Structure 1
Amino acid sequence: MNSNIIRQDTTSISKIDYHRKNQHFSGVVWLTGLSGSGKSTIAHLINQKLYKQGVQTYVLDEDDIRQGLNNDLGYGERDRQENIRRVGEAAKLLVDSGTIVIAALTSPFRSDRNQVRHKFEEDEFLEVFVSCPIEDCEKRDPKGLYKKVRKGGIPSFTGFDSPYEPPLTGELVVHTDQESEEMSVERIIRLLQEKHWI
Structure 2
Amino acid sequence: MVENLFPIFDKMLSRKQKEEQLNQHGVVLWLTGLSGSGKTTIALQFEKRLHELGFLTQVLDGDNIRSGLNSNLGFSVEDRYENIRRIAETAKLFAQCGVITICCFVSPEIEMRENARQIIGSFDFYEVYVSTSLRICEGRDVKGLYHKARAGELKDFTGIDAPFEAPLHPDVLLNTEGCSVDQSVDQLFTSVIDRIKIA
Question: What TM-score comes out, normalization by structure 1 length?
Answer: 0.95
Bigger Cα displacement from structure 2, 3-12 vs 40-49: 3-12
Aligned equivalents of 2:146, 2:5: Cα separation in 1: 44
Residue matched to 1:135:
135
| 1:93 has 2:101 as partner | no
- Once the two structures are superposed, the pairs formed by residues 17-166 of structure 1 within 5 Å of their partners are 17-166=17-166
Counterpart secondary structure, 2:189: helix
Q: Displacement, 1:6?
A: 2.7
Q: Displacement, 1:153?
A: 1.0
Does structure 2 retain, via aligned residues, the 8 Å contact 1:84–1:107? yes
Aligned equivalents of 1:173, 1:15: Cα separation in 2: 29
Residue matched to 2:196:
197
Matched to 2:38, the amino acid is G
Q: Displacement, 1:111?
A: 0.6
Does structure 2 retain, via aligned residues, the 8 Å contact 1:76–1:156? no
Matched to 1:111, the amino acid is E
Give CA-to-partner distance per residue, 1:174-197, whole Å, 9 cap, x none: 011111111111111111124x31
Aligned equivalents of 2:8, 2:170: Cα separation in 1: 32
Matched to 1:148, the amino acid is K
Residue matched to 1:181:
181
Q: Displacement, 1:31?
A: 0.1
Identity over aligned pairs, percent? 39
Q: Displacement, 1:12?
A: 3.8
Q: Displacement, 1:149?
A: 0.8
Aligned equivalents of 1:117, 1:30: Cα separation in 2: 9
Aligned equivalents of 1:128, 1:137: Cα separation in 2: 17
Matched to 1:138, the amino acid is E
Q: Displacement, 1:118?
A: 1.2
Q: Displacement, 1:3?
A: 3.5
Aligned equivalents of 1:133, 1:124: Cα separation in 2: 28
Does structure 1 retain, via aligned residues, the 8 Å contact 2:108–2:165? yes
- Which 5+ residue runs of structure 1 have no aligned equivalent? none
Q: Displacement, 1:4?
A: 2.4
Q: Displacement, 1:11?
A: 3.1
Corresponding residue pairs, total: 197
Does structure 2 retain, via aligned residues, the 8 Å contact 1:25–1:197? yes
Matched to 1:188, the amino acid is L
Counterpart secondary structure, 1:128: strand
Question: What TM-score comes out, normalization by structure 2 length?
Answer: 0.95
Does structure 2 retain, via aligned residues, the 8 Å contact 1:35–1:106? yes
Counterpart secondary structure, 2:143: coil
Does structure 2 retain, via aligned residues, the 8 Å contact 1:131–1:175? yes
| 1:4 has 2:12 as partner | no
Does structure 2 retain, via aligned residues, the 8 Å contact 1:60–1:104? yes
More helix by share: 2
Counterpart secondary structure, 1:3: helix
